[in-house]
Amino acid sequence: MSSTEQGTSSAAPAEPTTAPESAAAPEVPESFYYVHGKDKVVHKVSAGALQHSALIHGMISNLGYTEEQAKANPFPFENIDGDILQMVVDWCNQHKGKPTPPEDTNLPKQKEKLFDLVLAVNYLEIKELLTYCCKQVAMMVKGKSPEEIREIWMIPTDAEDEAAEKEAKKRAGKEAAGETAAAAGDAK
Task: Decide whether 72 or 130 has the Cβ nearer to other proteins.
Answer: 130
State the nearest-atom distance from the C-beta of 152 to other proteins, in Å.
Answer: 6
State the nearest-atom distance from the C-beta of 116 to other proteins, in Å.
Answer: 11
Is residue 79 within 8 A of residue 88, CB to CB? The reply is no
Task: Decide whether 59 or 118 has the Cβ nearer to other proteins.
Answer: 118
Task: Decide whether 45 or 121 has the Cβ nearer to other proteins.
Answer: 121
- Give the Cα separation of 91 and 98 in Å (integer): 11
State the nearest-atom distance from the C-beta of 131 to other proteins, in Å.
Answer: 7
Torsion of CA 90, 46, 122, 8, to 10 degrees: 80
State the nearest-atom distance from the C-beta of 100 to other proteins, in Å.
Answer: 15
Q: Which residues of this protein are in contact with other proteins, per CB under 8 A?
A: 105, 107, 109, 111-112, 114-115, 118-119, 122, 130-131, 134-158, 161
Helix, strand or coil for residue 172?
helix
**AA letter at 82:** G
Task: Decide whether 59 or 137 has the Cβ nearer to other proteins.
Answer: 137
- Residue 53's nearest CA partner among 85, 29, 15 is 85
**AA letter at 93:** N
**AA letter at 102:** P
